[in-house]
Amino acid sequence: MAEAPRGRGQAAPMVMAAGMRYRWPKARTDCLVIDELVLEAGERVFLRGPSGSGKSTLLSLIGGVIQPGAGTISVAGQPLASLSAGARDRFRADHVGFVFQLFNLLPYLSGRDNILLACRFSAARRSRLAEAGVSPEAEVARLAARLDLAREVLARPAAELSVGQQQRVAAARALIGRPGLVIADEPTSALDADRQQAFVDLLLGECAVSGAALLFVSHDLRLAAHFDRVLDLEAINHAAGAAEQRA
Ligand SMILES: Nc1ncnc2c1ncn2[C@@H]1O[C@H](COP(=O)(O)OP(=O)(O)OP(=O)(O)O)[C@@H](O)[C@H]1O
């Protein structure tokens, strides 16, 4: 179906990729060839695809962690290629919240300090909170209440938290300071089915409150029900080597 023309006053897409091609160094074939990918502001998308199909690679491209060999990627209207590596890191800290499969928390810092770190590294996150009249500490308290993280849990080093607690701390770290885009790469894989659904609902709810777009990767289609859209990577990836890489 043809896409409707973007109306006047309609927000620009949060992610816009065009003519994008990516090949890992030393690989014989392309990993991703994508003509067009659009994620609207506030849109919550479930990205699916078999193991090895390039989901994490796509998230790294959108997050500006790696650069495409051809094509353009813009996030919040900013073409990533026009930023230096340092500026790209700062842009990511300001505008993109990541929740990884293994959470990537700093083990010796408390849960609270792990969450606050996202604000320390980003003046934009601090100023968005300030504009809303909220201190980073008050936002930690609000997110902690939403995510069912008790005060004494937040005070403990991340290394001493359960997997489920670490995951919720990682979600709060991604969400604090209202980034326009939240990227979650199989964040529920360590949880049982009930907790997976509860976590997804929380993430969807918080993104709805802050207006963030959400790009959520999972193998588990049962989690897809409450997303705005399911995006099948295999349907948009024209890389000749895609099937070979999955083999
Ligand atoms: N750092 C890397 N260097 C070289 N090749 C890589 C690297 N990371 C991934 N690849 C390759 O790129 C392809 C896509 O991997 P990717 O991790 O993006 O897939 P995925 O869909 O996220 O898989 P999974 O669901 O198993 O996490 C695979 O063939 C993989 O071997």
195 CB-near residues (< 8 Å, 6+ apart): 164, 188
* CA–centroid distance for 149 within its chain: 21
- For residue 73, the CA-to-ligand 1 centroid distance in Å is 19
| pLDDT for res 247 | 52
Which tokens belong to 69?
Answer: 């060999």
Q: Which residue's CA lies nearest to atom 2 of ligand 1?
A: 24
Domain boundaries, the chain: 15-246
| pLDDT for res 2 | 43
Query: CA angle 210-213-216, nearest 5°?
Result: 120
Could you give the CA distance from residue 168 to residue 125 in angstroms, rounded to a whole number? 19
Interface pTM, i.e. ipTM: 0.98
| pLDDT for res 31 | 96
Q: Which residues of the chain have pLDDT under 50?
A: 1-5, 7-8
Q: Tens digits of per-residue pLDDT, 39-73?
A: 999 999 999 999 999 999 999 999 999 999 999 99
Query: CA angle 116-118-121, nearest 5°?
Result: 110
Query: CA angle 4-229-140, nearest 5°?
Result: 115
Q: Tens digits of per-residue pLDDT, 74-92?
A: 999 999 999 999 999 999 9
What architecture is domain 15-246?
3-Layer(aba) Sandwich (3.40)
Could you give the CA distance from residue 121 to residue 123 in angstroms, rounded to a whole number? 7
Q: Considering the entire predicted model, what is its pTM? A: 0.90
Please state the atom number of ligand 1 nearest to the C-alpha of residue 57: 18
CB distance 214 to 207 below 8 Å: yes
